[in-house]
Structure 1
């Protein structure tokens, strides 16, 4: 075999030596701030124009790129499963050969779960299965009637699709790529690092800056949507406890009441204030402790549904749905419907929306996963951050969502859960399964859990944004964390106000911002495949040389 030249590791991200931006890359920091400032000003000064243009762009993107989103995410999932299964790549350690993980498995899982999906689990625990019970491809094809026992299986097939292996694979593709180069090659923990096997030294200049800026923008918009949904549910929870009328406003066209703009903004300020304080304390303290609290409270909420909900129905559904999901996994990976059809419209509004959300969140969660996963093997990383969270999500959605569906199937709820807004379905379900006295306690626990999930997501995001702008430096300026906390609050508030208190403008901005990074992620997979292949051959060459040297030493 011929020698393979060493991998490119001379990534040089210029940062300021002095001044306000000391330790930060000026092109990345300034471009990100200017872009977010312009978006905020546009949304505040001309909200009607912002809403109309973002809606039009979103429609065009979904029409053209919906199939790309679906195929790309399917490839992400299969790519990771293959990388974990291949012995030479699966056993590689993200760090030195004898290095061990920095965090315990409990804290690692808690931080990963809290940053990756906490808010989504709370908002969609009941909303996702119930909504898909009324509309999914099998129902659209006429294979099942909506809101019937026959529709439950297909509802969970797509629930598991949206929160299962494909979804978590989006995070882990980014996280694994970043961790691999950062910990096996001692390179900066930033987005451009993941593309060095393809572009090499070209990433030291403007190309690298663009890649990192795309990561920052996608992260900001992904966090914005997550915070938007989370504070909407938090307002619903606060209203159910306190009955304060200004927290809600009448729904449009006779729909259920929804959180008011005033309620959303007031809650946003509180959440982001707490998130900024937590971000200032760093990963080892604020994020870690809040994540552990999240996991404890989540377990407590799950036990409430086990004790008072439809646990038997949920477990029966879990087994059937998991089998159905596994059998349909290959087909779901490539199930892309053309735009302009009923199935294509459903997919653009459901699956593609989720994939864009996960992709927009992936620079943040991926970098955060890499930050907390040093010392673990590639196989451990994939199993621990793709397979295990998926199984937990499946249980969560069947126990909480299954209770909602069973209450509707049995005629107990009589449409009250179906008709409730997405962010209020959890509280609507709780009212049917516990007494008024117990409901008050559980509702307060849910509000605390939503709040801590929001704070964990936002503070982790602030840490990651600063890490990217600092060229991969983990320990960043406290002042800049505070400034970005303020900027993130402003952009979320502006987009909420532009939507008249609704979240559609936030969603449109996020889907638009996620698209460029989706192409970056495809390049990441190609890049990592090349790196793993060439590192494997480097190892074999080294073993052959060692064997020849040992043989020569033994000659008389």
Structure 2
């Protein structure tokens, strides 16, 4: 048995505009993203039609793949945490200590991973499933009744629970293991070295990193798209005027192009400035700020919301979720080809919810996974899995129970009078505040939500820009050339704006599902690689063979 590969040479440019970057990866990624932007803006109808067709094909053909791939990520993380030989291993050398405190570590993980979603979906998703879910489709429960609340939380917790965080955790675990124990570059290709070896220095490795960058851009576009939608809704609620929306001939209201442009300038401008300051300064400070504001908002709902109803939803929901999780992880509904049949409705529902979410988390995984690896050096594997997979999931459950539970309770007791149920997805949190509070207090709390939303958006976007540059620079975490940070900040804003103009949030969702497919294969290979590496390293240690790089090699 030989020592593992501890030297993966990735050629970077030594001078000029692309100094320190892998030109093959950087230029290829920029070209692909540029084509998406031009296509979406110049030919919006063609783009929307093509993306819709491909999306339908993927959802009907690869539904099994997405479900079983996500189950694999969950089982891999659980196995590595429970397995004593792997659970005790450090993501780094034996004397490495964590760089960040537990609070800052958790704040950055949560803020980059799902923070934005809490403000939109903690209200919107329980309310949606309260109206309709697989049980109502099968006739087992009735929508908008007390008897449908438990099923609403089973599916809300499913989409934001361990599966979401396992997809992030498996990528971060793989990258941290190979980078901080073996001294390999902190980039996606390093996670596949046990399978492909030194061939990853060339074209194969370049393709893997380009796929990761494009998936990251599309996954972040999805998240930022939801954030922009809610940001505009918040601006409207606090009195920024009617120019934020346009109304077509049929009376349908939609976000105006001017509102999209203004929102993206504010969000991406602030995030680019934060990205220029690095992880240890701007991103850390913002993460701590938005975590503090999150606890303030959550405390508000604990005190003034439907506390008993929310706590009941939390504990009963967790019990129902755990009981149903093994079935949910492997269940696939397939259409019988009959329009309107129960089987077809269930398959359509799963494509629009489970598969969509699995694709979203997968597309977001290269960004969040690499970011998790970046901030988790010195943690044990077991500590990392618990911190990256279970604690954030539990935090999501508390948000969904207290915020979404308050919304459901207000509708059930008649206080809301459908003001929340009938509001748009992005507006439901603000609508609930208006039901709960006087006009002036609702304005103040809406402003707090706006500030929190902006900090989450900025944290997500600036972290993403830094991670994209890290991949493009062959894993170099050091300072990057300012023009490249500015380019990706502008490019991300244009992707979000272009796809929204092309077809609204549905166009972003469609592009993201397509972009996630190739990276889901990479993630499965990463899971297999880290399992193989840890098993082989345990054998090496037993035989007295070196399994980690020395400190000097890692420092290089």
For the aligned pair, the TM-score class normalised by the smaller chain equals: over 0.9
Q: Output aligned runs, 1:271-282, within 5 Å.
A: 271-282=267-278
* C-alpha displacement of 1:9: 2.2
* C-alpha displacement of 1:467: 0.2
Q: Report the counterpart of residue 378 of structure 1 in structure 2.
A: 381
Q: Report the counterpart of residue 489 of structure 2 in structure 1.
A: 485
Give TM-score scaled by structure 2 length: 0.95
Q: Distance in 1 between matches of 2:320 and 2:276?
A: 45
Q: Report the counterpart of residue 84 of structure 2 in structure 1.
A: 87
1:179 maps to which of 176, 179, 186: 176
Q: Report the counterpart of residue 549 of structure 1 in structure 2.
A: none
Q: Report the counterpart of residue 196 of structure 1 in structure 2.
A: 193
Residues 1:316 and 2:312 are matched in the alignment: yes
* C-alpha displacement of 1:303: 1.4
Q: Report the counterpart of residue 550 of structure 1 in structure 2.
A: none
Q: Report the counterpart of residue 414 of structure 2 in structure 1.
A: 411
Is contact 1:75–1:333 with CA below 8 Å preserved after alignment? no
Is contact 2:3–2:545 with CA below 8 Å preserved after alignment? no
Q: Report the counterpart of residue 5 of structure 2 in structure 1.
A: 8
Q: Report the counterpart of residue 44 of structure 2 in structure 1.
A: 47
Deviations 1:261-313 (A, max 9, x none): 22122111111011100000000000000000000111111111112210110
Q: Distance in 1 between matches of 2:410 and 2:248?
A: 24
Residues 1:210 and 2:207 are matched in the alignment: yes
Q: Report the counterpart of residue 57 of structure 1 in structure 2.
A: 54
* C-alpha displacement of 1:102: 0.3
SS at match of 1:323: helix
Q: Output aligned runs, 1:315-394, within 5 Å.
A: 315-339=311-335, 341-394=344-397
Q: What 5-or-longer segments of structure 2 have no aligned partner?
A: 338-343, 547-556
SS at match of 2:141: coil
Q: Output aligned runs, 1:458-497, within 5 Å.
A: 458-475=461-478, 476-497=480-501
Residues 1:532 and 2:534 are matched in the alignment: yes
* C-alpha displacement of 1:479: 2.2
1:306 maps to which of 302, 319, 326: 302
Q: Distance in 2 between matches of 1:239 and 1:252?
A: 21
Residues 1:424 and 2:434 are matched in the alignment: no
Q: Report the counterpart of residue 509 of structure 1 in structure 2.
A: 511
SS at match of 2:447: helix
* C-alpha displacement of 1:494: 1.3
Deviations 1:54-75 (A, max 9, x none): 1111111111112211111112
Give TM-score scaled by structure 1 length: 0.95
Q: Distance in 2 between matches of 1:243 and 1:47?
A: 28
Is contact 2:5–2:182 with CA below 8 Å preserved after alignment? no
Q: Distance in 1 between matches of 2:418 and 2:57?
A: 35
Moved more, 503-512 or 259-268: 259-268
Q: Distance in 1 between matches of 2:523 and 2:109?
A: 20
Q: Report the counterpart of residue 449 of structure 1 in structure 2.
A: 452
Deviations 1:428-477 (A, max 9, x none): 11111122121111111000000010000000000000000000001122
SS at match of 1:420: coil
Q: Report the counterpart of residue 246 of structure 2 in structure 1.
A: 249
1:130 maps to which of 127, 139, 143: 127
* C-alpha displacement of 1:248: 1.9
Q: Report the counterpart of residue 502 of structure 2 in structure 1.
A: 498
SS at match of 1:301: helix
List, as ranges, runs of 4+ consecutive aligned residues in structure 1 with deviation greater than 6 Å. none
Is contact 1:71–1:336 with CA below 8 Å preserved after alignment? no
Q: Report the counterpart of residue 552 of structure 2 in structure 1.
A: none
Q: Distance in 1 between matches of 2:151 and 2:355?
A: 18
Q: Distance in 2 between matches of 1:479 and 1:254?
A: 43
Q: Report the counterpart of residue 548 of structure 1 in structure 2.
A: none
Moved more, 472-481 or 201-210: 472-481
Deviations 1:498-519 (A, max 9, x none): 12xx211111111100100001
Residues 1:294 and 2:296 are matched in the alignment: no
Q: Distance in 1 between matches of 2:19 and 2:263?
A: 33
* C-alpha displacement of 1:76: 0.9
Q: Distance in 2 between matches of 1:65 and 1:75?
A: 15
Q: Distance in 1 between matches of 2:101 and 2:46?
A: 49
Residues 1:434 and 2:430 are matched in the alignment: no
Q: Distance in 1 between matches of 2:133 and 2:257?
A: 31
Q: Distance in 1 between matches of 2:179 and 2:467?
A: 15
Q: Distance in 1 between matches of 2:149 and 2:494?
A: 41
Q: Distance in 2 between matches of 1:196 and 1:535?
A: 14
Residues 1:103 and 2:105 are matched in the alignment: no
Q: Distance in 2 between matches of 1:252 and 1:301?
A: 39
Q: Distance in 2 between matches of 1:252 and 1:307?
A: 44
1:232 maps to which of 229, 241, 246: 229
Residues 1:139 and 2:136 are matched in the alignment: yes
Moved more, 332-341 or 481-490: 332-341
Deviations 1:99-134 (A, max 9, x none): 110000000000001100111111101001011112
* C-alpha displacement of 1:243: 4.7
CA RMSD of aligned residues (A): 1.4
Q: Report the counterpart of residue 550 of structure 2 in structure 1.
A: none
